[in-house]
Structure 1
Amino acid sequence: MRTTADASVGPVFARLAAPRPERPTRLFVVADAHVSPTATGTWKVFHRSESRLRAAVDVANDLAVDACVCLGDLTRDGREREFAAADAVLSELSAPLVSVPGNHDVPKVWDDYVAPDATAFGERYGRGRYPFRVRVGGLDLLCLDTASAGGRLTETHEGEVSAATLDWLRRTVDEVDHPVVAMHHLLFHPRDHAGSFPDGDFYQLRNHDPVRAVLAARDDVLALSGHLHLPTTTARDGVRELVAPSTCSFPPAGLLLEAGPQGTTVRFVPLADGKGMAEAYVRADAGNAHGQGIAAHADDGLLATLPRVDERVDVVGADVPGALRWR
């Protein structure tokens, strides 16, 4: 388990032309911790969920980041004992925590227990009722509830942005200097990120088109998402999306964002040693379709060639914001 950060931190995962805040700002981004004090096994490696989140807290503390951003599914299924276990780990975090709920964190119609609604989740781990904005260093975090659309999950774990949230986003995104949108579900389809993926439609926002249209009007928005458990990034129509890996399932890791006047560098930060990575891979490969899909992308060289995208320089080194160079 990684408990200290050395000078290299981790390999560069992406170089982005935006955001470009005047004030250098560092965020440690994590997702899909699925903390459970009792569950074991499965492709999500539940029995490591607490220790992997603890490793993420250690890294955030060692790096003295401006904030730790959690992109949802903090818990296995929204039970109080899971939140209590997560709280015990997060109590050691030195940096401010900013979090959005995932589909596993909010009430569902089939629950036989009381899970906190999104407002209660925001009061505990965010900045109150969603949506909200918070300034972190030189960045403006716009935090959305895509997991419950303001209510209870019914027959699906798909995501949606409520009409009220979309109106808020339309107003707010033009009021801030360097917008970073934090949410659980994806703006782009997994195939736009990494090609084919099992049950790919499940991971994207149902109403992704109007959300993307709002963000595309600025041409410098970075969207942070979780849910997929697959670290990846893409850009379309001026909107960049960065999907964080899970802290517990393969590959257990977080992302370090370092934003400044020259753009944003993203580093992939492992949260397990070689043995832990191997265990997570074996469980993913033997797991359900989702886990097997991630293992298959690893087999195809998911992290073999980094950075995944480089849009900060052209072939002679000049800035070219908005022009992606895929690796």
Structure 2
Amino acid sequence: MRGRQFRQFGSTVMARLTAPTAPRPTRLAVVADPHVSTRATDSPKQFEKTASLFKSTIMDINSRDVNAVLSVGDLTKDGAPWDFDRVDDLLAELDAPFFAVPGNHDVPKTFDDHRSASRGRFIDHYTPGTLPYQIEVGGVDIFALDSAWTADGDLRDSHDGRITDDQLAWLTDRIETADCPLVFTHHNLPPTARQAEASGVASGIDMSGVPIMRNGDEVMETLAAAGVPLVVTGHIHLPGVAHYDSPTVGDGTVTEVTSPATCTFPQAYLLLDIDSRGTTVRYVPIASERESLDAYHARLGGTDVDRGQAALGAIRTAQFPLHEEWVPTQSRPQQPPTSPRSRSPSVDN
């Protein structure tokens, strides 16, 4: 990274949503799947470049006047303590408040070849001190849910996800007083999973290897019943917008926005601008043309899922905006960033 010159990258509108809205303009940066690694090489994920790309992401975010940064998981390659230490070194350069949920690569697994950092370390470093949690950022009530770890250990031998019943009950209780709710978690939910599967079938690529959210339908019904208009995920390394229409809740529509990874093609992060008009989702690339091309070819040399992600990444970025529910008639109002306030949840899981 030494000698790498910073330049602000451009951004493209990926979606415009009518909800959530906020009484005062709030800008959130969403970062997914940096997979920071200090020792691994020779992979379609190009682990040797992950720290450099995460640094580029942080430097670009610093130029964007954001209220807070949300990480939807997989900060590290496989939860090694030395990789989390590198993440911390990089985050020391971030100007905005940072909040995260763990991904499947951030928590201990039975098949790890090293002693992984504990869940407690993750909570201490990247949350208000507990998980799940609620924070208020600007005009937005943000709810963080953990899909990567369960107390009974049923995810330790798998990269699948599950959001526990205790967390769903906590969300249902807390969200009653939220005026502008937004949920973020790591694993993809049924709208994105079905969309990826359909896209894979259409292009002749098997996308079934992506680890799933085991109780995804239950989670979506809980979100719909609670009136959550938007959930943000990562995990699949692709930009996306998908929708869920509840079969049991009238007007129970939930939009799932997935953030691309910073480590693999197409390397990017998202900006969410939330104001009285709705939510504008902007896609911000963080790699040079050469880096993007190298990452694309690296993915083509991997598994079916790697090749599928490369193909779908190219297709989707060429189709922006992926979804528009309104068209702007005036410039986005400006509002100085405000510091987030955390609210301690009352559930242990």
Q: TM-score, normalised by structure 1?
A: 0.90
Residues of 2 paired with 1:188 and 1:165: CA distance?
Answer: 18
**Is the Cα contact below 8 Å between 1:192 and 1:234 reproduced in 2?**
no
Equivalence for 1:5: 8
1:118 touches 1:129 (CA, 8 Å); kept in 2? no
Equivalent residue for 2:98?
97
SS at match of 2:163: coil
Q: Distance in 2 between matches of 1:234 and 1:292?
A: 21
Paired position in structure 2 for 1:88: 89
**How many pairs align?**
313
Using the aligned pairs only, state the percent identity.
38
Residue 201 of structure 1 deviates from its aligned partner by 6.7
Residue range with higher mean Cα deviation, 169-178 or 130-139: 169-178
Partner amino acid, structure 2, of 1:146? S
Q: Distance in 2 between matches of 1:108 and 1:225?
A: 21
C-alpha spacing 1:117/1:174, structure 2 compared with 1 (3 Å) = farther
Q: Determine if the alignment matches structure 1 residue 245 to structure 2 residue 260.
A: yes
Contact 1:253 1:269 in 2 (8 A): yes
Superimposed CA distance per residue, residues 173-211 of structure 1 (whole angstroms, 9 cap, x where no aligned partner): 222111111100012254533424434374431111221
Provide TM-score, normalisation by structure 2: 0.84
Q: Please give the root-mean-square deviation of Cα atoms over the aligned residues, in Å.
A: 2.1
Q: Is the 8 A contact 1:107 1:117 kept in 2?
A: yes
Give the deviation of 1:166 after TM superposition.
Answer: 1.3
Instruction: Call closer, same or farther: CA 1:200–1:279 in 2, change over 3 Å.
Output: same
Counterpart residue identity of residue 311, structure 1? E
Shift of 1:2: 8.0
Counterpart for residue 212 of structure 2: 204
Residue in structure 1 matching 2:324, options 310, 314, 318 = 310
CA distance in 1, matches of 2:12, 2:186: 24
| Preserved contact between residue 107 and residue 118 of structure 2 (Cα < 8 Å) | yes
Question: How do residues 1-327 of structure 1 correspond to structure 2 at under 5 angstroms?
Answer: 3-5=6-8, 9-150=10-151, 152=153, 153-194=155-196, 195-197=198-200, 198-200=206-208, 202-237=210-245, 238-298=253-313, 301-313=315-327
SS at match of 2:220: helix
On the 8 A contact 2:192/2:242 being kept in 1, the answer is no
Structure 1 unaligned residues grouped into runs of 5+: 318-327
Q: Secondary structure of 2:182's partner?
A: strand
Is the contact between residue 54 and residue 262 of structure 2 (CA under 8 Å) also seen in structure 1?
Answer: yes
Counterpart contact for 1:4–1:62, Cα < 8 Å: no
Q: Which amino acid aligns with 1:285?
A: L
State the Cα distance separating 1:170 from its structure 2 match: 1.4
Q: Is the Cα–Cα contact under 8 Å of residues 160 and 205 in structure 1 kept in the other structure?
A: yes
Q: Secondary structure of the residue that 1:51 maps to in structure 2?
A: helix
Post-superposition CA distance 1:139-185 (Å, at most 9, x none): 11100110012354332110001121111111122221111111000
SS in structure 2 of the partner of residue 44 of structure 1: coil
Native 8 Å contact 2:191 2:256 kept in 1: no
